[in-house]
Amino acid sequence: MAKTKIKYICQDCGYESPKWMGKCPGCHQWNTMAEEKEKRISSRHAIGQNPSQKTSRPESITAIQSKQEMRFPTDMPELNRVLGGGIVPGSLVLIGGDPGIGKSTLLLQVSSQLANRQINVLYVSGEESVRQTKLRADRLGINVEHLYVMAETNLQEVANAIEEMNPGLVIVDSIQTVYQEEISSAPGSVSQVRECTGHLMRIAKGKGIPIFIVGHVTKEGAIAGPRLLEHMVDTVLYFEGERHHTYRILRSVKNRFGSTHEMGIFEMKEEGLKEVTNPSEIFLEERSQGVAGSTVVASMEGTRPVLVEIQALISPASFGNPRRMATGLDHNRVPLLMAVLEKRAGLLLQNQDAYVKVAGGMKLDEPAIDLAVAISIASSFRDQPTRPDDILIGEVGLTGEVRRVSRIEQRIQEASKLGFKRAIVPERNLSGWSKPDTIEVVGVRSVQEALQIALGGA
């Protein structure tokens, strides 16, 4: 008879302990240790194990034939960009996001597009009935014969359906609802999530079927379950955005078949998600003209330049300790740049409250936005607007120098395409590329120089 063992597992990080503890030693979170029963079973009875399967042997890397990964693209270029060019057969893709953000809608639309190409798609829903999925499909205008829907949470039944159908794509919504009967813990627990993902990975690799799995997220925004879940899959996508705004951003944070810096932008409409082909226009369409504290920067999101507005508001501090707040960028960057402006440019900012925001809900984390943030702060402090057709690009060092950035040509071309007339860039970025005739490119060495040019030396 199999022996049952009691253990306590942290539901956030997967730390295991033989006894209960109030604080997890792994992630230092309180009240996350949950009791689970571990039942040891023979490996020959485990799901997905084939006793007759031959074991692999080591091969010399020089004897292995390299070949390009075959992909089949969807009808969504934005999704193809994030995936690295399309869906790779045999890949396991994890997509996470807040409830109601549009994960199921996106995957149902992708399923419909592939089913229109006579590819059998199996959509497994563990949270909705078949009728509920049909109602959502009707709302999106989806009615395709090759799209099969299954409301099931037992992983063995899902595996049997995959074996019987041999579909071209499988979607499991969500991984926290499916379970294996051999594991006594509840669905969504660390053990169930880990084992179910492992079994789906073996199916994907063994049969060459791409599988998309949906993951719930915690209140901090990370995918729920053990961190091991993200290590097991090939690609991790995050679907971001505010539920009360129409724009959604799909980011890749891990991708074994492409870049991890790509971003796709969608707009949520009544008939489903629509792609945004020119996000720079969207982020700048509501920009106020002639207002102090507003600048525009060209940020690289993977291989795509995106123009976004950075807003700053500087006001006298009402209390002894001034506030520093940032939305859409690292909050530590604001006091750092304010210290540089105070020390190198002579702006008295130590008694000022500072609020900096990236307009449009974007999140920027590259150093090339430093110069635009610094000029926005100085513009608001002096109450003097910059030119509305100026764009600022550059990294600011602690000594006040403006350092070179990457992909300057693509950034300038995007700014020129949207009608900007002058670009203030690092001086070391001026050589080695051809400048468009429609935009003036000005090189600066220091943040003092940039202030004199952008604000007219006021």
As a whole number of angstroms, the distance between CA 137 and CA 115 comes to: 13
The answer to whether 101 is a known ligand-binding residue is yes
**By C-alpha distance, which of 366, 82, 81, 94 is closest to 252?**
82
The answer to whether 390 is a known ligand-binding residue is no
Q: What 3-state DSSP class applies to 332?
A: coil
Phi-psi sector, 224: left (phi>0), alpha (psi -120 to 50), beta:
beta
Task: Give the C-alpha distances (Å, rounded to integers) separating 223 from 92, 95, 97.
Answer: 15, 9, 8
As a whole number of angstroms, the distance between CA 210 and CA 193 comes to: 19
The answer to whether 9 is a known ligand-binding residue is no
* CA neighbours closer than 13 Å in the CB half-sphere of residue 268: 19
The answer to whether 99 is a known ligand-binding residue is yes
Structure tokens at 219: 């209140």
The answer to whether 100 is a known ligand-binding residue is yes
> In the 8-state DSSP scheme, what is residue 48?
T
**By C-alpha distance, which of 319, 94, 74, 88 is closest to 197?**
94
**By C-alpha distance, which of 367, 240, 362, 372 is closest to 312?**
372
As a whole number of angstroms, the distance between CA 325 and CA 327 comes to: 7
Angle at 231 between CA 306 and CA 65, to 5 degrees: 90
The answer to whether 103 is a known ligand-binding residue is yes
Structure tokens at 279: 């996000």
Q: What 3-state DSSP class applies to 315?
A: strand
The answer to whether 198 is a known ligand-binding residue is no
Q: What 3-state DSSP class applies to 313?
A: strand
Task: Give the C-alpha distances (Å, rounded to integers) separating 72 from 75, 208, 251, 437.
Answer: 10, 13, 20, 39
H or E segment and range at residue 299: strand 294-301
Structure tokens at 176: 């926290």
The answer to whether 97 is a known ligand-binding residue is yes
As a whole number of angstroms, the distance between CA 336 and CA 112 comes to: 49
Structure tokens at 79: 């999704």
As a whole number of angstroms, the distance between CA 438 and CA 56 comes to: 60
- Binding region: 97-104
- Binding region for ATP: 97-104
